[in-house]
Amino acid sequence: MTLKVAVAGATGYAGGEILRLLLGHPKYLSGELRIGALTGNSNAGVSVAEACPHLPTLADRVIEETTPATLAGHDVVFLGLPHGFSAEIARQLPETTTVIDCAADYRLQDAGEWEHYYGSAHAGTWPYGIPEMPGHREALTGASRIAVPGCFPTGATLALLPAVAAGLITPDVAVTSITGVSGAGKKASVALLGAETMGSLKAYNTAGKHRHTPEIAQNLAEYTDETVTVSFTPVLAPLPRGILTTATAPLIDGVSQATATQTYRDFYADEPFAHLLPEGVQPQTQNVVGSNMCHVQVEVDERSGRLLVTSAIDNLTKGTGGAAVQCMNLALGFDETAGLPTAAVAP
């Protein structure tokens, strides 16, 4: 049996990354997986050669309109659409179709939080696509509906999760994430022009306004009985790809550097896409570009009594497209690592 896969929003950054990874997937190379409809309303009728010249294997394909009818008949549908659009499309696809949503529509469990941050009715909650979170790999295995996490919550969650789960910190966390411009999506925006971003850094959606704030809190709250508070500050940097996250929280008395390091080493020992760096080596976005890896460093700041954790991911791979393919692998019973690079592009 050949699986037929569609990508909605194929000309966006998330859709393009999913396609890049699928083209190297062993199931595609063996002929067991076929790439079907490629859709994108703003580029409907345009060839892939024109819209996505980095995908020459698909150059002769034409982008179609994003409709339930176009996506029907596929075994897997990736939705790389803005929030709000995904839910409407997903409702019209059969339960027999594995739907993997890269938007926010089904990530949050609390309807009140959704309505506060997104200003619309809550569509519901699907299995959440960070397999490294205990219990989530099992929920994703065989699932027909999956919510891919936000890129900022991925970096922040993987940075803080071992410390929260082991009770090393009081979960009153401060998170700062520096991100490349592709995180905003492939859209015309004055604020994202090269002349506006080159040589400059800018914080945005500060003081609890960013929509990924409740997602970070939700993820960490699964692993502690204490109240989780998150102060999240995103910073826009003149990079195409990458997120560097620093997260701090008050240490529980008696936690040493050795304890923190061993906790993280044990937690991620069997995780193929989470890598604890040697002591003294800091995560850098350049070392994860194009890979599905999260690089992590953990440090005890004895003078301030705080834990400092730093993580680096490629926002388009582990932060979006790679996470989506990783979830597909679990949903369909493939090797979880299939088609997902662990080595970055360097220099």
Q: At 63, list the tokens.
A: 């982008």
Running DSSP on this structure, what letter comes out for residue 41?
Answer: G
Q: Render the burial of 131-168: b for 16+ CB within 10 Å, e for the rest.
A: bbbeebbebbbebbbbbbbbbbbbbbbbbbbbbbbbeb
pLDDT at 186: 67
- Please state which architecture CATH assigns to domain 152-313: 2-Layer Sandwich (3.30)
Whole-angstrom distance, CA of residue 201 vs CA of residue 180: 10
Q: What average pLDDT does the segment 108-124 reach?
A: 93
Q: What does the pLDDT look like over 158-182, one tens digit per residue?
A: 999 999 999 999 999 999 999 998 7
**Checking DSSP bridges between strand 243-250 and strand 306-313, what pairing results, if any?**
antiparallel
pLDDT at 35: 97
Residue 63: pLDDT above 90? yes
**pLDDT confidence tier of residue 317, bands split at 50, 70 and 90:** very high
Give the number of other CB atoms < 10 A from CB of residue 125: 17
**pLDDT confidence tier of residue 190, bands split at 50, 70 and 90:** confident
Residue 194: pLDDT above 80? no
Q: What is the mean pLDDT of the chain?
A: 94
151 in catalytic set: yes
User: Residue ranges per domain, the chain?
Assistant: 3-148+320-332, 152-313
Report the percentage of the chain scoring pLDDT > 70.
Answer: 99
Q: What does the pLDDT look like over 236-282, one tens digit per residue?
A: 999 989 999 999 999 999 999 999 999 999 999 999 999 999 999 99
Q: Which residue has the tokens 């179709």?
A: 97
Q: What does the pLDDT look like over 72-107, one tens digit per residue?
A: 999 999 999 988 888 889 999 999 999 999 999 999
The pTM (predicted TM-score) of the whole model is 0.94
Active-site residue (options: 102, 151, 294, 327): 151
CA dist 190 to 178, 181, 184, 193, Å?
A: 19, 12, 12, 5
Residue 347: pLDDT above 90? no
**CATH match of 3-148+320-332 with 3.40.50.720:** yes
